[in-house]
A and B are shown apart, each in its own frame.
Chain A
Amino acid sequence: MRPLVHRSPMPGLGLSMGITLTMLSLVVLIPIGALLLKGANYGLAGIWETVNRERVWAALFLSFRLSLIAALFNLVFGVLLAWVLVRYRFPGRRLLDAAVDLPFALPTAVAGISLTALYAPNGAFGVLAGEIGWKIAYTQWGILIALIFVGLPFVARTVQPVIEEIEREVEEASATLGATRLHTIRHVILPMLLPAALTGFALALARAVGEYGSVIFIAGNIPLVTEIAPLLIIIQLEEFNYDAAAAIGIAMLLISFAMLLVINLIQVWSRRRIGHV
């Protein structure tokens, strides 16, 4: 049997392990454990009873469905962005490249009120949309826009390094063998980008499902229509309904764990397929 920790001449094993495990437990594991424990006390039947209500299902389904659409949009737009930023040289490219990270850097509450100001019926984009009778803010469209915003960088940033590493020879070989450019992109380049793009997609999806700050301002928060799952937890907490909050929290935690598992499986699969990530 392998030893738990291999002998090593490196100093600081006790200290670094101690800090790592203590802080990890205190900040992350004990709190998550407390939530799971609360759920265990409450029982599966109790959790099911809380979650199995029209309003909760509607919120979970809404969060998941809109997150999926937003992540799909970002999958396509992210690959396009990564391609343009790596392959083409044009004025303003650096600025564009830096701007891709803005949704990571801009606090969610700031994004939330700013998107609302833009897409509200009297906002710059809201007025334009209103002319064709399209209402964006305070509808599901508004939530979708906010989720697209927060998920925008994920796919672009995971795909960009992969495009940089594609060797031109592969594309040349394809062209020499008579493939059209479109054929090369479809059958040679896109398959190479797929694992990274899927990883980015899953990350964007996970982020969107749990997103709160950028969504609540633009959502309108009408029960059954534009109420997202994280908001339900806040509402339960404000009514000191800790059991119900915990039950919905556990449902969301399980969704996150499932997505984490999927991300890891994608990475294992792509490592086998290509030899590296």
Chain B
Amino acid sequence: MSDATFRPATEETPLARRILIGLAVTGLLILVFAPLVAVFVEALRDGIMASLESLASRDAWAAIKLTLTIAAISVPLNAIFGVAAAWFITKFDFRGKAFLITLIDLPFSVSPVVAGLCIVLTFGANSAMGAWLVDNGYPIVFAMPGIILATMFVTFPFVARELIPVMIEQGRAEEEAALTLGAGGWRVFWTVTLPNIRWALLYGVLLCNARAMGEFGAVAVVSGKIRGETATIPTTIEMLYQEYLSVAAFTLAAVLALLALVTLVLKTLLELRHADQLAATHRH
């Protein structure tokens, strides 16, 4: 830890130190705090009643409901994937492990717009599979399943990425002991593994959820932005903003900004309270 006592030979002069702190604080104030404050200032420009009224509109409600539904489906699915992938990767030895991890991380380096494009090309009405699905009454693109797929694509690595380093560090000894004592596979998972990884899992789910509710690029491509039907909170913000309904747009934006703040607070709490059970890079 860095709380070691300071020795003059290994520290900067007080002046240099003050300049560096000043630069860091000023930079973050301008680059990060100012945009955050601006969201709330713009939302409350016409008073709180105007903001609340815009929130009560039917389109805003439909968007909020849709975004919550999308997150409620895609986040648990990604959590199941993350746990399964982390179990497969850390409990077994097989060829191509590094390659598999690279594939899981792939969505992080693909532009969300390209992700949306991939889904449109796979399941859109102009593809063979998409045409068949539409004919049978299961449209994917410009409908809810497409939005869920796009959301899952962009948030795919979040949970696995938090769990893999933690489970590597914890090793297999505890699970092996439980097996030797006669516990079955599921019992080992529920009583030994899950308690060990629950905070890392929560951490991953938290980040996954924040991104799922806020995803814009990929969803904008696949959703068709049909008002009241396939418009999520972020795409509704875009439509309102382009119609110069600034207060309504910023009020919905403020809802998402509050969600981001809650996420950050919970994340910081996890880092403070359960640092020893999170991936090493979050311990500070």
Interface residues of A (CB under 8 A from B): 2, 4-6, 8-13, 15-17, 19-20, 23-24, 27-32, 34-35, 38, 77, 80-81, 83-88, 90, 92, 94, 96-111, 113-115, 117-118, 123-125, 148-149, 152, 157-158, 160-161, 163-164, 168, 171-172, 175-176, 181, 184, 203, 206, 209-213, 217, 230-231, 233-234, 237, 242, 245-246, 249, 252-253, 256-257, 259-260, 263-264
Contact = CB atoms under 8 A, between A and B. Distances in A.
Among B1, B28, B237, B265, residue most surrounded by chain A Cβ atoms (within 10 Å) = B28
A81 B24 contact: yes
Contacts, number: 307
Contact of A13 (B88, B241, B267): B88
Given A113-B237, A124-B38, A4 B23 contact: no
Nearest to A25: B103
Nearest to A115: B35
B106 A20 contact: no
B34 A125 contact: yes
B162 interface: no
A259 B109 contact: yes
A149 B256 CA distance: 17
B10 A107 contact: no
Contacts of A28: 103-104, 106-107, 153, 156
Contact of A175 (B10, B27, B35, B84): B10
Contact of B32 (A149, A161, A172, A203): A149
A171 B10 contact: yes
A213 B35 contact: no
Nearest to B42: A117
A84 B24 contact: yes
Contacts of A111: 35
A59 B225 CA distance: 25
Contact of A233 (B2, B77, B87, B113): B113
A113 B249 contact: yes
Contacts of A20: 81, 84-85, 88-89, 100
Interface of B: 1-2, 4, 7, 9-13, 16-17, 20-21, 23-25, 27-28, 30-36, 38-39, 42, 77, 80-81, 84-85, 87-89, 91-95, 100, 102-115, 117-122, 124, 126-127, 149, 152-153, 156, 172, 175-176, 179, 184-185, 188-189, 207, 210, 213-217, 220-221, 234-235, 237-238, 241, 246, 249-250, 253, 256-257, 260-261, 263-265, 267-268, 280-281, 283-284
B38 A213 contact: no
9 contacts: A12-B189, A84-B24, A98-B268, A99-B28, A111-B35, A117-B38, A171-B9, A210-B109, A213-B216
Given A32-B106, A160-B284, A210-B111, A27 B153 contact: yes
A13 B91 CA distance: 9
A150 B16 CA distance: 28
A107 B24 contact: no
Contacts of B280: 161
Contacts of B87: 12, 16
B14 to A, nearest CB: 11
A256 B260 contact: no
Given A107-B256, A115-B35, A8 B28 contact: no
Contacts of A9: 176, 179
B122 A172 contact: no
Contacts of A181: 10-13, 16
Contacts of A6: 92-94
B190 to A, nearest CB: 12
Contact of A213 (B32, B127, B217): B217
A88 B115 CA distance: 41
A24 B77 CA distance: 12
Contacts of A12: 87, 91, 185, 189
A96 B23 CA distance: 12
Contacts of B13: 181
Contacts of B9: 171-172, 175-176
A166 to B, nearest CB: 9
B244 to A, nearest CB: 12
Nearest to A217: B241
Nearest to B222: A237
A210 B110 contact: yes
B268 A80 contact: no
B92 A118 contact: no
Given A181-B12, A212-B216, A113 B253 contact: yes
Task: Across the A-B interface, give the 3 residue pairs with the lowest CB-CB distance, nearest first.
Answer: A210-B111, A107-B214, A11-B185
Given A10-B92, A20-B89, A256-B109, 10 more contacts: A10-B172, A28-B106, A35-B114, A87-B11, A101-B264, A104-B210, A113-B42, A114-B38, A233-B114, A249-B117
Contact of A110 (B153, B253, B267): B253
